[in-house]
Chains A and B, each alone.
Chain A
Amino acid sequence: SQQGEEDPQALSIQEGENATMNCSYKTSINNLQWYRQNSGRGLVHLILIRSNEREKHSGRLRVTLDTSKKSSSLLITASRAADTASYFCATDRKDSSYKLIFGSGTRLLVRP
């Protein structure tokens, strides 16, 4: 069963704008991760936020986590055409921390 659900399913923005993607999950987690997937390729890890953290930054990425609402958001600032990809959130399970459950992803298109 899917743990993470991303919203929106697809997003189209102009280069230079900010992109925000949301992820909701159902059960308690140890941490939440975000991954990027370029078309037809494998996933690349972007950022990991632990359940006791509220916000984390990495370059142009900002991730927030609200465990009370069981939700997370990924903000990409000053987007570039190269950011065009699908973005997935992944959560672990309290009973099996090394297994991740992935959502179905948000497809981001950044128009030049």
Chain B
Amino acid sequence: DVKVTQSSRYLVKRTGEKVFLECVQDMDHENMFWYRQDPGLGLRLIYFSYDVKMKEKGDIPEGYSVSREKKERFSLILESASTNQTSMYLCASSYSGRATYEQYFGPGTRLTVT
């Protein structure tokens, strides 16, 4: 079974702190994604990566950066956390190719910024 793990289920940080969210997948997937999920807004794509060291902005990249130094690991960085970044963060991975493949999701990290 594909497994996507996230470093924390719950995280509480203070405004202005630098926050790292880690995601690891074990299926050798080329694509990895970071979403945030807020009530009534569904999932919104923050960043995605289609290869090691390659990244592309999603729909809401402001205030975030990412790092992909190894194929299996994709990190989301909040350079200076703000209260409006309180949210559920979901990581996902998928195969690459001309067709769209299903995405495999991690369990999510519920981040609270106070």
- Which A residues lie at the B interface, using CB under 8 A? 1-2, 30-31, 33, 35, 40-45, 48, 88, 90, 92, 97-105
Contact = CB atoms under 8 A, between A and B. Distances in A.
A92 B48 CA distance: 14
B100 A43 contact: no
Interface string B72-91: 00000000000000001010
A98 B94 contact: yes
Interface size on B, as a range, is: 20 to 34
Given A41-B107, A43-B90, A44-B105, A88 B100 contact: no
B40 A104 contact: yes
A90 B101 CA distance: 11
B64 interface: no
Contacts of B98: 97
Interface string B11-51: 00000000000000000000100010000111111001010
Contacts of A43: 43, 90, 92, 103, 105
B31, B44, B58, B102: residue with the most chain A Cβ atoms closer than 10 Å: B102
Nearest to A45: B102
Nearest to B44: A102
Contact of A99 (B48, B90, B102): B48
13 contacts: A1-B59, A30-B99, A42-B90, A42-B107, A43-B43, A45-B104, A48-B102, A88-B42, A97-B99, A97-B100, A98-B48, A100-B100, A101-B45
